[in-house]
Structure 1
Amino acid sequence: MTPETGKTSIPIPERTRPPRAARRGAIAIRFRPGPAAIAAAALVCLLIGLLYLALQIRTIFSDQLKQEYAGLVLEAVERAESARNQVGIWQQLPDATEARAAGYRHARTELAHRLASLAALVNASPSAAPRLSPASFTADADLRDTDAVLGTVSAWWRAQRDADSADVRLRIAHVARTLIASAALLFCMLITALGMYAKRNRLLAGQSHEFEWAALHDAMTGLPNRRKLFATLEAAATKLSARSASCKIAVLYIDLDGFKQVNDSLGHRVGDEFLIAVSKRFRESVRKVDVVARIGGDEFAVLVREFSTNAELGEIARRLIACVVQTDLTMGVGMVSASIGIASFPDSVDDYHRLVAAADEAMYRVKRNGKNSYAFADRAN
């Protein structure tokens, strides 16, 4: 019998997921608020605060109108009570004369008129106030009922006026607290946004400085590159033209003899270490005002900003050659020396734009004549 062939299942690797803390960190970084988000949040908070203030102020005005209406009703009550007192005075007169009867009728008519005005004012109230019955408005209504109505109306509307007054005071306090909180919130958000904006500007300025530095310097040795050398040379020449004619500048062009064999036999790592070490010695052997630049590969240049005689330049060249020899001995390479060409302006070169090229030509003349030395550029005809 042929054994039954089973199907082999290939395990599918489970999709790896980053830890929860890492995901939270990534989300926090992704949603980190910027100045624009802070400003938008401040604007939303301001709009919400203004809407709340508008509603509160509208309610305050409504309560003030209710207070004024309650004051009108209470004035009408006082006028009705005054008319009721007049009726009581005429009632208490002892003489039953025609004049007393006429005065009493007039007082009752005036009281009915005052009560009708009060009822019209109370019944027209926009608030849910107790309505007055028309039976209390007649001239022959029971005075005890009238006194009870006036007392009830006076008590209810005084309580309503006091409640509206307390509500107005409470809402004014809310408005004041909201204004203070909104101002504090906006101030904090403004300070936060300004701080973030300043921090971002500092970061961008730092990055811009780093980019500018990287564009003008050699990444491995940290020395200025060819672009920086020519910019510094032009600035020095421009400054030189405005000073005394006795001031001069010079360029020493350095090429490392035998450096290619270092890379080929010992490797590029040793070659890079040699370049870094010799660059440091070059920088330490010249003045701080002078510029040491790496032109490219194993070629360097030194810009001497001011000198008096060629003997000074020769001394600088010998120190630079000694730097290469010391580096070679320290690292145990035993195959690297230096050839240096020297050109000065305005002595040997009358155009500073050709200063580096003239020093380069003088350096190649040294190489053709045995290397490990220096030579000055020929004077311009």
Structure 2
Amino acid sequence: MAPEASKTSIPIPERTRNQRDARARALAIRFGLGPAAIAAAALVCLLIGLLYLALQIRTIFSDQLKQEYAGLVLEAVERAESARSLVGVWQQLPDATQARAAGYRQARTELAHRLASLAALVNASPSAAPRLPPSSLTPDADLRDTDAVLSNVSAWWRAQRDADSADVRVRITHVARTLIASAALLFCMLITALGMYAKRNRLLAGQSHEFEWAALHDAMTGLPNRRKLFATLEEAATKSPALAAPCKIAVLYVDLDGFKQVNDSLGHRVGDEFLIAVSKRFRESVRKVDVVARIGGDEFAVLVSEFSTNAELGEIARRLIACVVQTDKVMGVGQVRASIGIASFPDPVDDYQRLVAAADEAMYRVKRSGKNSYAFADEANRPMPL
């Protein structure tokens, strides 16, 4: 039997590949952006975009208020110009009667009232608008000065309204572009985050598969381990009753004779190489539907499904023994052989859970009778000759 060191040792290429994968995963975790980082970046960009949009919308509302205020001032200018036109009408009447004089004074008073309302609007403006001179607000002010004031006020506030209107249009364009850019950026970030989540899920699924594979296989030889063997055996045995003609199942329990001396004399490295080489030959000597498992140390088991006669099992046992002899010859060890016990279900072993134990008992019977041969579980006589 091989010592424990041979069970857990991992070949150098396998260790190198595992270390390389571990380093790659560590670098990806250290320098890569995960979905959480992408989501945080998207949130920051969203907040910045919302702040910019809020400032732009606030400015647009402010410009719109300025436009409305300019419209109020221009309406006041139009009313003042109408009052000025009325004064000009009274002033051009030919007869200097008392009614004309009274109408002219009333028109001048109305013009002064309109100018005072216009001055109140202009002086209350939040922008730095030119103020109306006090001399133009009196009823007896020079009409030429009044005409110049009204013309200047009208020109200035029309220009101001046009400028505010152009600024609103520009800012609305900026808001639309910002909304489009933000939507595109968020969409790209969401797609990226979803892609990273999918990639991480695939990675986790791959790692889960690797962990599951490692839990069911021998690390050194890559063969299924005891757990995988019993799971496959149970699956094969439990589905047999559902078939019209239940298939036969057999287990060949293989123990390497003289393997301990290899470890003791040549070292565990040579012993591990021997196990790897003989495992490969075992796998190549049976059908793909059959399972070759490493039970532990220098013990192996082969699960054979759908065989017809014991002669077929005997032929498989002889091939397995030949694999050991060939490996021993190639490596120049010169002292390793194999003892094999064979048990089949449902005849003669009617309980598949005892199939491995029955094959193990038959294998020990071979060892006690000279080794390097095989025996069936239902035979109490000597091992079968090669």
Deviations, residues 86-133 of structure 1 (Å, cap 9, x unaligned): 111222222333443333233222222221221222122222222223
Residue 226 in structure 1 maps to residue 188 in structure 2: no
Q: Which residue of 1 aligns with 2:68?
A: 68
Deviation, structure 1 residue 296: 0.8
> Superposition RMSD on alpha carbons, in Å?
2.0
Q: Which residue of 2 aligns with 1:296?
A: 296
> What secondary structure, in the 3-state scheme, does the structure 1 residue paired with 2:49 have?
helix
> What secondary structure, in the 3-state scheme, does the structure 1 residue paired with 2:347 have?
coil
Alignment of 1:13-92 (within 5 A): 30=30, 32-92=32-92
Q: Which residue of 2 aligns with 1:376?
A: 376
Distance 1:163 1:27, change over 3 A: farther
Q: Which residue of 1 aligns with 2:23?
A: none
> What secondary structure, in the 3-state scheme, does the structure 1 residue paired with 2:306 have?
strand
Deviations, residues 298-327 of structure 1 (Å, cap 9, x unaligned): 110001122122222112111111211222
2:240–2:246 contact (8 Å) kept in structure 1: no
Partner Cα distance (2:268, 2:122) in 1: 104
Partner Cα distance (1:125, 1:332) in 2: 107
Structure 1: 4+ residue segments shifted above 6 A: 26-29
Q: Which residue of 2 aligns with 1:10?
A: none
2:253–2:342 contact (8 Å) kept in structure 1: yes
Letter in 1 for 2:319: R
Residue 184 in structure 1 maps to residue 184 in structure 2: yes
Partner Cα distance (2:310, 2:28) in 1: 64
Deviation, structure 1 residue 208: 2.1
Moved more, 259-268 or 297-306: 259-268
Deviations, residues 313-363 of structure 1 (Å, cap 9, x unaligned): 112111111211222222222222211111111111111111111110111
Alignment of 1:161-310 (within 5 A): 161-310=161-310
Deviation, structure 1 residue 284: 0.7
Deviations, residues 139-190 of structure 1 (Å, cap 9, x unaligned): 2221111101101111111111111112212222222222222223222322
Letter in 2 for 1:316: I
Deviation, structure 1 residue 200: 2.5
Partner Cα distance (2:96, 2:240) in 1: 131
Work out which structure has the larger RCO, using CA pairs closer than 8 Å and 6 or more positions apart in sequence: 2
Moved more, 133-142 or 283-292: 133-142
Letter in 1 for 2:95: D
> What secondary structure, in the 3-state scheme, does the structure 2 residue paired with 1:244 have?
coil
Moved more, 100-109 or 280-289: 100-109
Q: Which residue of 2 aligns with 1:156?
A: 156
Deviation, structure 1 residue 31: 5.1
Partner Cα distance (2:48, 2:27) in 1: 28
> What secondary structure, in the 3-state scheme, does the structure 2 residue paired with 1:307 have?
coil
Letter in 2 for 1:262: V
Letter in 1 for 2:150: L
Q: Percent identity?
A: 91
Distance 1:28 1:314, change over 3 A: closer
Deviation, structure 1 residue 28: 9.8
Deviations, residues 183-205 of structure 1 (Å, cap 9, x unaligned): 23222322332333333222222
Partner Cα distance (1:275, 1:302) in 2: 15
Partner Cα distance (2:194, 2:85) in 1: 72
Deviations, residues 2-32 of structure 1 (Å, cap 9, x unaligned): xxxxxxxxxxxxxxxxxxxxxxxx9997454
Partner Cα distance (2:371, 2:30) in 1: 60
Alignment of 1:116-131 (within 5 A): 116-131=116-131
Distance 1:29 1:323, change over 3 A: closer
Q: Which residue of 1 aligns with 2:14?
A: none
Letter in 1 for 2:309: T
Letter in 2 for 1:337: R
Paired residues, number: 354
Deviation, structure 1 residue 376: 1.1
Deviation, structure 1 residue 269: 2.2
Distance 1:36 1:302, change over 3 A: same
Deviations, residues 17-73 of structure 1 (Å, cap 9, x unaligned): xxxxxxxxx999745432212211221121111111111101110110000000110
Deviations, residues 194-237 of structure 1 (Å, cap 9, x unaligned): 33333322222222222221211111111111111111111111
Deviation, structure 1 residue 291: 0.3
> What secondary structure, in the 3-state scheme, does the structure 1 residue paired with 2:341 have?
strand
Letter in 2 for 1:334: G
Partner Cα distance (1:221, 1:100) in 2: 125
Moved more, 279-288 or 116-125: 116-125
Deviations, residues 245-282 of structure 1 (Å, cap 9, x unaligned): 44111111011112222222232222222211111111
TM-score (norm 1): 0.87
Partner Cα distance (2:244, 2:363) in 1: 29
Partner Cα distance (1:69, 1:234) in 2: 89
> What secondary structure, in the 3-state scheme, does the structure 2 residue paired with 1:375 have?
strand
What residue ranges of structure 2 are gaps of 5+ in the alignment? Answer: 1-25, 380-386
Q: Which residue of 1 aligns with 2:352?
A: 352
Letter in 1 for 2:209: H
Partner Cα distance (2:151, 2:28) in 1: 68
Distance 1:255 1:29, change over 3 A: closer
Letter in 1 for 2:238: T
Letter in 1 for 2:183: A
